[in-house]
């Protein structure tokens, strides 16, 4: 089931719970906003839950009509829309919201791509910033010593990842321990970049979206076509531990 439709379903379920509770209890509405009885508190709690569930779709919901629907069910009035009509409008609005989400994501992907390209073009001119053939940019904060890892190696690193606006989305420093993983199992920008490092080194990487998570993004924090910035410290090569996700 699509997320927007699930929200509508949650709202509907919450409405029914509220209606049934009110009908069975027979409690009168709270006056002056006071919540004195259990029925009033329970009804208010359901209302808050319902309001929270409707936040993502609030622009598509007429609150007065919502209240009318609640009252009709509670008072035993025949609904103005039958089962088929209610199902049809929920599907229609769900489709509209899905189309809006797709359009918004496409617009965000285009903006992120343009912002990333502009940033990298300027960043590449800075002293100390180097750009590889793939478009990966990096600068050396601290140089290490020894032999760099190969793509087939397992590495242990400390890192911090941020968006171009400086917002941090992940950090092993915040968790207080480094992570270990096969170097071939992470995003291309990491696989390429960490192979430039020697143990003990700390680099800063500026990773174009096509070397990061691309159009799909990652989770709620990394949007489509985001250019990412990582500070990476290569702690060790070949440490024999269970791999952790970057």
User: Which residues are marked as active site?
Assistant: 159, 169-170, 187, 213, 230
Q: Do residues 229 and 168 lie in contact, with contact meaning Cβ atoms separated by under 8 Å?
A: no
Helix (H), strand (E) at residue 103: helix 83-123
Which of 67, 64, 63, 45 lies closest to 54, judged by CA? 63
Contacts of 94 (CB under 8 A, 6+ apart): 2, 4, 5, 8
**CA distance linking residue 219 with residue 225, whole number of Å:** 13
Encode 153-214 in three state secondary structure. CEEEEEEEEECCCCCEEEEHHHHCCCEEEEHHHCCHHHHHHHCCCCCCCEEEEEECHHHCCH
User: For 216, which DSSP code?
Assistant: G
């Amino acid at each position: 089931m699509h997320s927007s439709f699930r929200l509508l379903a949650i709202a509907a379920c919450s409405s029914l719970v509220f209606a049934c509770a009110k009908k069975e209890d027979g409690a009168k509405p709270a006056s002056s906003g006071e919540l004195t009885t259990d029925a009033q508190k329970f009804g208010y709690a359901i209302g808050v839950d319902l309001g929270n569930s409707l936040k993502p779709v609030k622009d598509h919901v007429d609150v007065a009509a919502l209240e009318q629907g609640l009252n009709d069910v509670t008072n035993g009035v025949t609904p103005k829309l039958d089962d088929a009509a209610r199902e049809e409008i929920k599907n229609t609005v769900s489709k509209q919201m899905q189309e809006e989400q797709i359009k918004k994501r496409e617009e965000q992907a285009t903006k992120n791509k343009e912002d990333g390209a502009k940033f990298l073009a300027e960043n590449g001119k800075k002293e100390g910033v180097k750009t590889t053939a793939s478009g990966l940019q990096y600068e050396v904060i601290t140089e290490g010593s020894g032999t760099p890892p190969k793509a087939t190696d397992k590495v242990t690193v400390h890192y911090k990842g941020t968006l171009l606006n400086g917002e941090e989305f992940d950090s092993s420093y915040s968790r207080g321990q480094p992570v270990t993983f096969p170097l071939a199992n992470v995003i291309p920008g990491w696989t390429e970049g960490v192979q430039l490092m020697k143990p003990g080194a700390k680099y800063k990487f500026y990773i174009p979206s096509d070397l990061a998570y691309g159009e799909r993004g990652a989770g709620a924090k990394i949007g489509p076509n985001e250019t990412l910035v990582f500070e990476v410290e290569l702690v060790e090569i070949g440490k024999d531990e269970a791999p952790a996700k970057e």
